[in-house]
A = this chain, B = another copy of it.
Amino acid sequence: MHANVSQVAFLSVKNLLDLVTKVGIESFIKGLAKSIETDFKRWSLFDKSPRFAAHSPDGVIELMPTSDGHNFSFKYVNGHPKNTQKGLQTVTAFGVMADVDSGYPLLLSEMTVLTALRTGATSALMASYLAPANSQCMALIGNGAQSEFQAFSFRTLLGVNTLRLYDVDPKASQKCCANLIHHGFDVTICSSAEEAIQGADIITTCTADKRNATILTSDMIKDGVFINAIGGDCPGKTELDKALLLRADVFVEFEEQTRIEGDIQQLSHEFSVTEMHKVMNEKANGRTSGSQLTIFDGVGFAVEDFSALRYVYQLMKQHMPTKELELIATPENPRDLFSLFCTNNTMRKAG
């Protein structure tokens, strides 16, 4: 440690894995969902700026900032579909949380894994307001990187232990199944989406194709279920049939963003949707009857990342010796930045 440096807490990939393992993944998800719910309940405090996006031929790099007036956070996240051809992740992420009063960063965290965890926790949290009472069985359509996180989150928050998997690539279903059966899930691999949704109270779509795909059509779906449509959304990427959306009560995180990125991009702005913070604050209804068809059109929002950073920052303090980065120079006399060179051991050689 250097005397003239402010420390910034650092949560590496390994640190996060260790932290989740130490706390237990289900306890971690429970706490994370609580953190997200707390922040959705104080929705109006948050600065909801549009994300910054730098597009290139092969992908996009985004900065997603938000603030509650007390803390500021941003997430750096890329999306590069061709990365898998090079053995790289399509999406990677890291995030920073800072103190608004001083402007000093407090935490730098990996967010590739943390985003997967917060996406699962967000879905299950929304389901706790929107899914049928006593849901037992979930269809999981799309068995890629997000699928296991959905499974753990729904079991943790709703007690859903029976899973029916389907993916266009059978290897993905086998991978997902292998990861989950060791953890006590009752898993069935299905050969079509139609088969997967048989008997399901909850249908989660988390597919990755960047197309206007129609994973679920209206005629496939009976009344009374909850559809959790969270596949990596963007303009030009949908999972649900238009007629299905028109039949349902649709719930979103932040309407302005979901109109652009979500499944409802197919609908006119006349079609009414409900922001989930209103449901949580009892200013709008979630599920009101057993026969209601409810859809969460999730796209991922900066507030969820803020909640996740806030949560791991608290958790780190409780559960692990903080690893810190020498990221911020703080000379004793703020007007004497150059003095750092003079107090640095080897500086006498310079100049």
Interface residues of A (CB under 8 A from B): 2, 4-6, 10, 12-15, 17-18, 20-22, 24-26, 47, 49, 52, 54, 56, 58-61, 63, 65, 67, 69, 72, 74, 76, 78-80, 83-84, 86-90, 92, 94, 96, 98, 100-105, 108, 110, 112-113, 116, 144-149, 152, 172, 175, 179, 182-184, 208, 325-342, 344, 346-347, 349-351
Q: Count identical subunits in the complex.
A: 2
Considering the chains assembled together, what is the distance between the CA atoms of A20 and B342 in angstroms? 12
Known: A61-B72, A94-B328, A96-B76. A101 touches B56 (CB 8 A): yes
Q: Is the CB of A13 within 8 A of B4?
A: yes
* Cβ of A338 to closest chain B Cβ, rounded Å: 4
13 example contacts (A-B, Cβ-Cβ < 8 A) are as follows: A13-B326, A13-B329, A21-B347, A25-B350, A47-B54, A54-B65, A63-B63, A110-B326, A113-B340, A145-B336, A145-B337, A172-B335, A179-B339
* Cβ of A159 to closest chain B Cβ, rounded Å: 15
Q: Is the CB of A105 within 8 A of B87?
A: no
Q: Is the CB of B89 within 8 A of A350?
A: no
Residue of B nearest to A56 (CB): B100
Known: A12-B327, A346-B21. A334 touches B65 (CB 8 A): no
Report chain B residues within 8 Å CB of A148.
337-338
Known: A2-B14, A94-B328, A103-B59. A341 touches B20 (CB 8 A): yes
Quick one: which of B80, B149, B335 contacts A144, CB cutoff 8 A?
B335
Quick one: which of B182, B330, B340, B351 contacts A17, CB cutoff 8 A?
B340
Known: A24-B350, A351-B26. A327 touches B94 (CB 8 A): yes
Q: Is the CB of B341 within 8 A of A25?
A: yes
